[in-house]
Structure 1
Amino acid sequence: MGERHPALARLDALVGRWTVQPEVEGLGVGWTEFSWVEDGLFLRQYSDADPVPETAPRAWRENNPLPTTQLIGLDDAGEEFTVLYADARGVHRVYRMTFADGVWRMWREAPGFHQRFIGTLREDGAAVDGRWERSTDGVDWALDFMLTYRR
């Protein structure tokens, strides 16, 4: 295959199993696992959790996306990644992504439902502090939820 692209090597910081704590009232801890597939050409992220408890907000219980799978691949023209996302609801999305200098960004622009994520890898590599935001027009943004990944 040749030499590994340096942008792919940056994603090694995510590889492994993490607990995930969304800051959503009534939701407990989930988990996610990042692993290389196809001899390191793609990074797979699989996430799941225990069943959503009855104490979780009704909207979350009715729209629970777990489990989810993401497949991350590189576009070496600009060292930007593409993320293919699918979840238990039958939702399929495509995100753009960067990961550099400990900052992880994902975003999508879709009519009526724009999304963006920013996460910061702590210096010790043991946690990522992140937030998802949403927008109907791509101009005015609102916090969707905060979350923390921990090793």
Structure 2
Amino acid sequence: MRSFDELATRLLGSWDLQGSHPLLPGDDITGRATFEWLDGHKFLIWRSQYDHPQIPDAMAVIGWADDQLLMHYFDYRGVHRLYEVAVEGNQWRFWRDDAGFQQSFIARFDDEDTMSGRGRMNRDDAGWEDDLAMTFRRRTAG
């Protein structure tokens, strides 16, 4: 996988989610995600819904802007973040390096229907710590 189009082709469809968060020890985080093209096939829409009340439902738009692959993230809390995106081998990642709060998430395709990812964050340059970990299992292909 070398390009955004290849990544989008692998992501298209609906997924079941199962994961964990270090601030919610022992809690099983489940949910659903969909990836679909916006008409015109220039932007990929990622919608996530979670069954855990402390994990926000969210939407992200992934696509090229000014020769850079970016993801605009929005959630129900009113949070809006802009991430850079890279596709490398059998994985994709997104990250932000804003002053005071950095985040990254790396997801690897285990096979055609399973993807595992782990997030990390750094608040106020206090050091990197684990964030949300999530496994995606395909329900339907796009």
User: TM class by shorter-chain length?
Assistant: 0.7 to 0.9
| SS at structure 1 position matched to 2:5 | helix
Q: What is the distance in 2 between the residues matched to 1:93 and 1:76?
A: 17
Larger radius of gyration: 1
Q: Give the AA of the match of 2:64.
A: L
How many residues are treated as equivalent by the alignment?
132
Q: In the alignment, which of 11, 14, 24 is matched to residue 11 of structure 2? A: 14
CA distance in 1, matches of 2:86, 2:128: 20
The equivalent residue for 1:145 is: 132
1:127 aligns with 2:114: yes
Could you list the per-position Cα deviations for residues 95-118 of structure 1 after superposition, in whole angstroms to 9, with x for gaps in the alignment?
Answer: 000123211110001121100011
- SS of the residue corresponding to residue 9 of structure 2 reads helix
Identical positions, percent: 31
Q: Aligned equivalents of 2:103 and 2:39: distance in 1?
A: 28
Specify every segment of 5 or more residues in structure 1 that has no aligned partner in the other structure, as ranges.
Answer: 1-5, 53-59
For normalisation by structure 1, the TM-score amounts to 0.78
**Runs of 4+ more than 6 Å apart:** none
Q: What is the TM-score with the length of structure 2 in the denominator? A: 0.83
Residue of structure 1 aligned with 2:60, choices 42, 49, 70: 70
| Aligned-partner Cα distance in 2 for 1:28–1:146 | 9
C-alpha distance in 2 between matches for 1:23 and 1:140: 20
Distance 1:76 1:13 in 2: 24
